[in-house]
Amino acid sequence: MKAVQVMSYGAADVLRINEVTRPAPGTGEVLVSVEASSVNGHDVIVRAGGLKMVSGRRFPIGVGLDFAGVVAATGAGVEGYQVGDRVWGTVHPRQRHTTGGAAEYVVVPADRIAHAPADVSPVEAASLVVAGATALIALRDNAHLASGERILVRGAAGGVGTAAVQLAHAMGAHVTALARDRHARLLTGLGADEVFDYGSTTSDQIGPFDVIFDTVGTELNCYRSRLAKGGRMVTVALSASALAAIAASSVYGSRRIRTFSANPDTAVLRDLADRVASGALRPLVDGVYPLAEAAAAHQAFERGGVVGKQVIQVAA
């Protein structure tokens, strides 16, 4: 089978489409025939060597944290899934020393998948897995966003940002989005009450907010100061400067900058599917690339200025 793999750390051109052995599911595992996988920030950071302390120097490394596809086989002890079921799920980052979601087949534990939403395509489903789960876990479990609260979403036009705008709106919050001015109409349509151009808006011009959800990773301390009393700030950024700001903010107690690792389980994925089915969350796909053009999908992600996700279509 074909799989996208990192052969050495570097720019997108280090990605290769290699022939590898098709995996077989073990006890408690499911083999999925992958139809689509999205490009996530974690994929790009790992590929570039930004997390080599964790990912190590053993190559190849698989690409793709998420996937949507069809159950091809189940291992012993797996219940609730049959061959042919449409599913979506995630690959644990530490599992990817051979293949990730950007491959023709992937094996994952059954507790990392769920039945995919019925009314979206595999490409659309893949665009929502990590992005939607990250936003849901951040807002529901880390920020504890409540109806009537004011939330700022930084980087609101990206994959995680557009999911956060929609979910926050569905939770009853007053949503302020920070993004490029040209995305204002789209974000308003997704549920944003206000949209500010990030290029001409400074942190002291907006707020205060009960919750700040950041996907950018810059000026974190400046934005943290815009929290209202009892406010909470969550970032999904992994840059060195962001991690330093997170560590330094611990002195602020409940108003510190929080981060987390989004490793969604079946329960989260089912919740996400229910929100898609209810219309509270819809996919936004910026670009679709065949498996052979995975490097181009990474390059598009890194250029920025996109709306939604870059998706690698594995099977037509």
Which domain, by its residues, includes 205?
A: 129-258
- Does residue 61 contact residue 16 with C-beta atoms inside 8 Å? no
Query: Domain holding 233: CATH number?
Result: 3.40.50.720
Same domain, 8 and 117: yes
Q: What band does 52 get if pLDDT is binned at 50, 70 and 90?
A: confident
What pLDDT is attached to residue 115? 98
The C-alpha torsion from 179 through 180 and 185 to 189, rounded to 10°, is -30
Same domain, 83 and 111: yes
> Could you tell me if 82 and 71 are in contact, meaning their C-beta atoms sit under 8 angstroms apart?
yes
- Measured CA to CA, the distance from residue 14 to residue 44 in angstroms comes to 11
Residue 97 binned pLDDT confidence (cut-offs 50, 70, 90): low
Indicate if 72 and 32 belong to the same structural domain. yes
Same domain, 244 and 285: no
- Residue 84 makes CB contacts below 8 A (sequence gap 6+) with 70, 71
pTM equals: 0.93
Domain's final residue, options 226, 241, 258: 258
Tell me the Cα Rg of the chain. 19
Q: Do 73 and 123 fall within a single domain?
A: yes
Cβ-in-10-Å burial (0-12, 13-18, 19+) of 49 comes to middle
Q: Tens digit of pLDDT for each residue in 242-293?
A: 778 888 888 888 888 888 877 899 999 999 999 999 999 999 999 999 999 9
State whether 206 and 283 are in the same domain. no
- Same-domain check for residues 98 and 121: yes
Q: How many domains does the chain fold into?
A: 2
Neighbour order of strands in the sheet with 194-197 = 194-197, 174-179, 150-154, 209-214, 227-235, 257-258
CATH at residue 73: 3.90.180.10
On whether both 225 and 269 belong to a single domain, the answer is no
Are residues 270 and 123 part of one domain?
yes
Do residues 77 and 113 share a domain? yes
Per-residue pLDDT, 240: 67
Q: Residues 107, 144: one domain? A: no
Mark which of 218, 242, 258 sits at the end of a domain.
Answer: 258
Are 137 and 99 part of one and the same domain? no
Residues 60-70 have pLDDT tens digits of 999 999 999 99
